[in-house]
Amino acid sequence: MKVGIVGTGYVGLVTGTCFAELGHDVTCLDVVMEKVNKINKGITPIYEPGLEELLKKNIREKRLFATSNYGDLKDAEIIFICVGTPPKPTGESDLSYVRRAAEQIKETNPDAIVVVKSTVPPGTTLSLNLKNPAMNPEFLKEGVAVEDFMKPDRLVVGALKKENAEKVLKLYEKLKVPQDRQIVTDPTTAELIKYASNAFLAAKISFINEMANICERIGADVKVVAKGMGLDSRIGERFLNAGAGWGGSCFGKDVKAIMHTAIEANYEPKILESVIEVNYNQALHVIALMERAFEERKIKGKRIAILGLAFKPDTDDVRDAAALRIIRELAKEYEITAHDPIAIENTKKELERDGIRIHYSRNWEECLKNKDACLLITEWKEYREIPLKRFKELLAHPILIDGRRIYSPEEAKKRGIHYKGVGYGKK
Ligand code: UDX
């Protein structure tokens, strides 16, 4: 099938490349010429494992082509809108790029099935007044987006006409998604499925973080609590890792956007408010753990080492990252040195915008050297592999605050480390 993709950001490029890999004839459109040129040369403008290889292959085999001209989409049967919906200061999503793309498509190819893939507030797709509107949310995680696309848990398509939904589903036919994992509904319901999913995942993490805080007070271990809960198949063990809180480009933005939708519809979303509040406090809680360790050792710590800046491992993305929240707060009083395998440049940009200056190290050893405490914030594999004795050898005071619970508290204590981990309350 002839497919058009508008917007070659993270979602658009993964979607376009994967559709080409499934054998479709794909044209990707972006208004930024630099991106178009890169894509046509087989270079991905974003970092996503496995994507560049697929892109190169499909460019070479001429199933994928990038353009900045809407005229090139005039033969497409189905066009996906994958442009950004950045948050406004109110939490509301900025839909101007989506609306602009829809208007341009209406002019060049009014009969196409136009599928909104961008995450948009419920009601948006229908408000675009398209002849053949559809909505098909994405559930792609950064770092494993290609795999998520190729092996989806479910396919959701919202359309007004059943035959249009079926055509959209046909694009995914080769993935062999079982029938009972394919949902055909109206566009507004499809839009809400996306928000509800992300809000629920964020809530699941905030919930376990709340349990973690209770564990610390009563002498329990949240890791074991999570395991015990997760074995109930109704709950499931995934997304029950307590820590310094969730971040990234989706959770915060989506929870706030759906709260905004709820309030506009005269409904007060109390659970969602708490999901955000618990998450915000969780980052500060990690600082409180550190300050408690200073008190217990009766020292006035000043120099802090931060391991991990990205919002999760295997990405250089620092948007809404717990580490940044922690640094913004810590920087008021402490001298900070940070390390991350790939997210230092992005962190520098973010912090410099706020006028915050910290030190950066080339490796974790340099980062730890002579510091009064170490805060582990992102669970990169290389940090998991640090021999515990190195913390004792390198730090001026062996205080280790495990913001992701990756080290064994018992082992750490055995090696003379003053260990505090989120959700670990045992003496
Ligand atoms: C998320 C959704 O998972 C995905 O379906 C959606 O399409 C986009 O948003 P992503 O933002 O890439 O994906 O990251 P994800 O792996 O979901 O992690 C989000 C945050 O939650 C990270 O900061 C991570 O560290 C944190 N997290 C995750 C926890 O704190 N505990 C967990 O158990 C899981």
pLDDT digits (tens, 9 = 90+) for 123-135: 999 999 999 999 9
Which of 20, 122, 40 is closest to 80 using CA atoms? 20
DSSP summary character for residue 335: E
Distance 142 CA to ligand 1 centre (A): 8
Residue 96, helix vs strand vs coil: helix
Ligand 1, atom 17: closest residue by C-alpha: 141
Q: Is 250 a known active-site residue? A: yes
- Domains present along the chain, CATH in parentheses: 2-185 (3.40.50.720), 199-421 (3.40.50.720)
In what side-by-side order are the strands of the sheet with 155-159?
64-67, 25-29, 2-6, 78-81, 113-116, 132-135, 155-159, 182-185
Mutate to test the pocket of ligand 1, among 14, 15, 138, 141 (most ligand atoms within 8 A of CB): 141
Distance CA 403, CA 377 (A): 5
Question: Across the strands, what pairs with 335?
Answer: 303
Given the structure tokens 């479910």, which residue do they identify? 154
**Angle at alpha carbon of residue 269, lines to 266 and 274, rounded to 5°:** 155
Amino acid, res. 234: R
Mean pLDDT of 168-177: 98
Q: What is the predicted pLDDT for the residue at 46? A: 86
pLDDT tens across 220-230, in order? 999 999 999 99
Q: Is 26 helix (H, G, I), strand (E, B) or coil?
A: strand
| Residues 43-55 pLDDT 10s | 998 888 999 999 9
Question: Considering only CA atoms, which residue is closest to atom 26 of ligand 1?
Answer: 246
Given a cut of 90, whether residue 87 has pLDDT beyond it is: no
Spatial CA neighbour of 25 closest among 72, 70, 68, 71: 72
Atom of ligand 1 nearest to the CA of 197: 5
Distance from the alpha carbon of residue 127 to the mean position of ligand 1, in angstroms: 30
How confident is the model over 142-167, as pLDDT tens digits?
889 999 999 999 999 999 999 999 99
What whole-number distance in Å separates Cα of residue 414 and Cα of residue 388?
A: 10
Pocket of ligand 1 (CB under 6 A): 138-142, 198, 201, 205, 239-241, 243, 246-248, 250-251, 311-312
Catalytic residue among 28, 250, 367, 374: 250
Q: How far is the CA of 2 from the centre of ligand 1 (A)?
A: 33
Give dist(CA 257, CA 93) in Å, integer: 6
pLDDT band at 347 (very low <50, low <70, confident <90, very high): very high
Pocket test for ligand 1, best of 15, 311, 376 (most atoms within 8 A of CB): 311
Distance CA 5, CA 178 (A): 25
Q: Is 90 exceeded by the pLDDT of residue 59?
A: yes
